[in-house]
Structure 1
C-alpha cells in the first residue's frame, strides 16, 4: 500500500526534497514492518532519489542490439562458408594428387 509522504517525510536530511525528480510515497508491505519512504520517478529519471537522468529507452537500444546480433551472425556464417570452401578445395587437391599417385603406382606394378 502506497500513501503520499507528508511534507516532513518529503524532506531530506539537508532540508532539500527527498525525491529530486519524482513523487515521495510511503510504501507499507505488512502490518509488522514500518512503511518505507520511496520515490516514484518522473519519465527518464532513475535511482533511489530520482537523481539520475537517462533519456535512452530500452526498446530503442534493443533494436540496435538486435541489428548488431543479426549482422554478427551473418559475418560468422560468411566466415564459416569461406573456411568450408577452402577446406573442400584443399581436400579436392589432395584427392587428385592421391589418385595420380595411385594411378602411377598401379601403372608401375603392371609393367
Structure 2
C-alpha cells in the first residue's frame, strides 16, 4: 500500500481498487498504517464524501527501507544469474504484469 502511495496521494476507493482489497479490509489496514503515522487520510475539499490517502514522511522512509531490503533479497535470490539474465527476467515479469487483466474477481476455473 505504501508503495502505491509513494507516487502521490490517491482517493481511498481508488487505492482499494488498485490493491483489489475489500473496502472494509482497506479501512482496517489504513487504520493500522495511520496509527503508525505512515499514512494520513483527509476529506477531499472538492468532494467531502471522498477521502484522500497520502503517505507521510515516516511512510516514505519505510518505503526506502523496504526497497533496500527487496534489493538485498533479489541480490541473494538471483546471485547465480548474470546481469543480462536478471534484466531479461525483469522484462518478462513486467510484461506478464502489464498483460494481466487486473480484474480482482477473476477466479481460475478448477483444473486450470
- TM-score tier, shorter chain, comes to under 0.3
Higher helix share: 2
Q: Normalized against structure 1, the TM-score is what?
A: 0.27
Q: Normalized against structure 2, the TM-score is what?
A: 0.26
Higher relative contact order (CA 8 A, sep 6+): 2
